[in-house]
Amino acid sequence: MARGAIGDHLRLSWLLLRGGSRRLAGRFTGHPLIRWRLPSLRADQLLIAPQDLRTADATLAGEIYAGRFAFAGKVVVCDDRSIFEMEPPSEDWAATLLGFGWLRHLRAADSAITRANGRALVDEWIGLQGSWHPLGWRPDVLSRRIISWLSQATLLLQDADVRFYRRFLRSLVRQVRYLRHTAADAHRGASHLQAVIALADAALCIAGQARRIKAATERMGHELQRQILPDGGHISRDPGAVIEVLLELLPLRQLYAARNLAPPPALLNAIDRAMPMLRFFRHSDGSFARFNGMGVTPIDLVFTLLAYDEAGGAPLSNAPHSGYQRLEAGGSVLIVDVGRAPPIQMSLEAHAGCLAFEFSTGKHNLLIVNCGVPPTAREDWRQLARATSAHSTVTFNDTSSARFVTAPSFRRVLGGAPMLGGPSRVAVTRDDQPDALVLRATHDGYAERFGILHQRTLVLAADGRAIEGEDVFLAADGRPQVRTARDRYAVRFHLHPNVKATRLSDGHGAMLMAPDKELWTFTLRDGRLDLEDSVYLAGTEGPRRTTQLVIYGHARHAPRVSWSLHAGPAALLKTTARSAREDEPRLPL
């Protein structure tokens, strides 16, 4: 077994052992004989409530009042029982219910009825699950509930009687106390960061917690330094994680100011680094690039966060620590994944999409995309979306450039499927020339199994109206020619569902029509271009049928695949190409 594979298996075994031990420790701490012996916290009032930046819909308050709870693509209608006694249709639905983030919709309605309804539902939960629940007291769900209760305290406590006020506060303090002892059990990554943010929120908002502020601040600062990379991306490499983190950090910054405390430097630095990444990952239509777990873009939340971006300005072009490159010219945007696989413990949602790219042009035209992930946790689709074939890049021998551990024991203990292997070395060079932006990258994700390196060169014209691309297959041992027997490749370009594709009669290209009727022509220098079915998972309405352009071949016979994407109809491009074909220069190598 190769040394890298042995190292991966050792790290994976340690991760499973540590996760299992924390799971057992969480159950032990949750035992009634233990949790009531934890040091008690006393408080008699809330001093301040954090702002909730998430968008609220007042019309949903009526649905909740009527006993209809629609979460994670499922709807549960209450009968004569409490919603907390109903059988949940999925774990995601239950986690959303028990996280109480939906209270913001009741607050948006702002009426005596919705306030009373909110108090009644909170009171029901305290009575039924306030002592213990295996899912409701899981660290990620618990921290979300603490943040929700704090941010919606105005809704719950306005017009409340003394009995509910004390009952609410006692329960809240009990939950904070429990989270303080179990936050380390949260899955490493965004959920663990959310837990330490919840503790910082509680220390600032609840009376009598002044001595806890320093410890909570230090704990949060350490986690921010570990998870927010120097270029502002998240260590998981998920663009959506940047949105979620900023939604929690901005209100926290306001809490420090409201308590006349200087926000810690780690918090301010994390916000300053993460803010530019909001612009970095945005396409011309406002959506985020679909890499490493990113699905539907919450456009409303992105605009809310951008309102806090004091610097503004043009997006960054290079995010070396996160492993992404952005090429922008003439209104066209090209975003490329040039990163290594994240650490195993952070890879539960990571994708095997190295050297994949997405391309958009104009204000509303997404042309080439990755499949993305569905808005709800449909596990069958989510696993397919992580494969290399679901990305606009090269696949060798129908395998992904990384392996996924899908054993039920890992999913149960870790909460996801870790990614093993994957590219360990990604060489990137960039040359911003006056007439074009040139990006070249090489990854070794297939080197160990097939002895092949994939090198991709992308050239975006200065006017944004053309891309010249080249995929080169190199021998991993340094030989100029690939000689392995298993060398069949597929170069894939997934199209957005709104793009209509028509194959050209010569078989070497396709005509693409964007939603605004703009025409683009994809041409292949040598070989045959196939049009195949694909699926777009990142739409708000769920999976949608779409088309992908595919180039098949063998690396021994065709170690270089040259293609181009130009604005304009095929007939005009054909005439121009025919006159220049003989002396047409190769891509700059």
CA-closest candidate to residue 471, choices 384, 389, 559: 559
Task: For residue 403, give the amino acid letter.
Answer: R
Reduce the DSSP state of residue 541 to 3 states and report it: coil
Say which residues have a Cβ less than 8 Å from residue 321's Cβ, sequence separation at least 6: 229, 230, 231, 233
C-beta separation of 535 from 382 below 8 A? no
pLDDT tens for 341-396 read: 998 888 888 999 999 999 999 877 999 999 999 887 666 788 899 999 999 999 99
At 324 the pLDDT is: 98
Q: d(Cα 67, Cα 508) in Å, to the nearest integer? A: 57
CA–CA distance, 323 with 341 (Å, rounded to integer): 9
What pLDDT was estimated at residue 577?
44
Q: Map 44-80 to HEC letters.
A: CCECCCCCCCCCCCCHHHHHHHCCEEEECCEEEECCC
Q: Are strands 560-567 and 519-524 parallel, antiparallel or unpaired?
A: antiparallel
Rounded to whole angstroms, how far apart are CA atoms 321 and 386?
A: 21
Angle of helix 239-258 relative to helix 190-205, nearest 10 degrees, comes to 10
Can you give the pLDDT at residue 80?
86
Beta pairing, strands 318-319 & 332-337: unpaired
Residue found by looking up tokens 């909460």 in the block: 415
How far apart (Å, rounded) are the C-alpha atoms in residues 462 and 450? 37
What's the fold here for domain 344-580? Beta-galactosidase; Chain A, domain 5 (2.70.98)
Cβ 523 vs Cβ 465: under 8 Å: no
The amino acid present at 110, given as its one-letter code, is: D
Most distant pair of Cα atoms in the chain: their distance = 86
Q: Beta strand 529-536 with 466-475: parallel, antiparallel or unpaired?
A: unpaired
The reported pLDDT for the residue numbered 17 is 59
Q: Which residue has the tokens 């120097």?
A: 230
**What is the spatial order of strands in the sheet that 519-524 belongs to?**
426-432, 436-443, 452-461, 466-475, 560-567, 519-524, 509-513, 500-503
Residue given tokens 């320093």 in the structure block: 214
Q: Structure tokens of 509?
A: 């290209």
CA–CA separation, 434 vs 324, rounded Å?
22
Report yes or no: 84 and 145 within 8 Å, Cβ to Cβ. Answer: no
Quick one: tokens of 37? 């012996």
Q: What pLDDT shows up at residue 20?
A: 53
* Per-residue three-class SS string for 229-279: CCCCCECCCCHHHHHHHHHHHHHHHHHHHHCCCCCCHHHHHHHHHHHHHHH
| Tens-binned pLDDT, residue by residue, of the chain (589 aa) | 344 555 555 555 555 555 555 555 555 555 554 444 444 445 568 999 999 999 999 999 999 999 999 998 899 999 889 999 999 999 999 999 999 999 999 999 999 999 999 999 999 999 999 998 999 999 999 999 999 999 999 999 999 999 999 999 999 999 999 999 888 877 668 899 999 999 999 999 999 888 899 999 999 999 999 999 999 999 999 999 999 999 999 999 999 999 999 999 999 999 999 999 999 999 989 999 999 999 999 999 999 999 999 877 778 899 999 999 999 999 999 999 999 999 888 888 899 999 999 999 987 799 999 999 988 766 678 889 999 999 999 999 999 999 998 777 666 666 678 898 889 999 999 999 999 999 999 999 999 999 999 999 999 999 999 999 999 999 998 777 788 889 999 999 999 999 999 999 999 999 999 988 999 999 999 899 999 999 999 998 889 999 999 999 999 999 999 999 999 986 554 544 444 444 444 443 3
* Distance (Å, whole) CA 189 – CA 226: 9
Neighbours of 363 (CB within 10 A): 10
Task: Give me 243's structure tokens.
Answer: 């949105």
Question: 182: Cβ–Cβ under 8 A, 6 or more apart, which residues?
Answer: 25, 26, 29, 30, 139, 142
The angle formed by the CA atoms of residues 234, 239 and 244, to the nearest 5 degrees, is 75
Q: What is each CA distance from 228 to 222, 244, 340, 425, 511, in whole angstroms?
A: 10, 12, 16, 21, 42
Residues facing 501 on adjacent strands: 512
Residue 147 CB neighbour total at 10 angstroms: 26
Tell me how far apart the alpha carbons of residues 140 and 298 are, in angstroms, rounded to a whole number: 21
Give the distance, in angstroms, between the CA of residue 208 and the centroid of all CA atoms in the same chain. 37
Instruction: At 203, list the tokens.
Output: 């220390």
CA-CA distance, 403 to 577, in Å (whole number)?
41
Give, to the nearest 10 degrees, the angle between helix 139-151 and helix 91-99.
40
398-424, pLDDT tens digit by residue? 999 999 987 776 666 666 788 988 899
Consecutive H or E run containing 475 = strand 466-475
Kindly give the pairing relationship between strand 332-337 and strand 324-329: antiparallel
d(CA 493, CA 496): 10
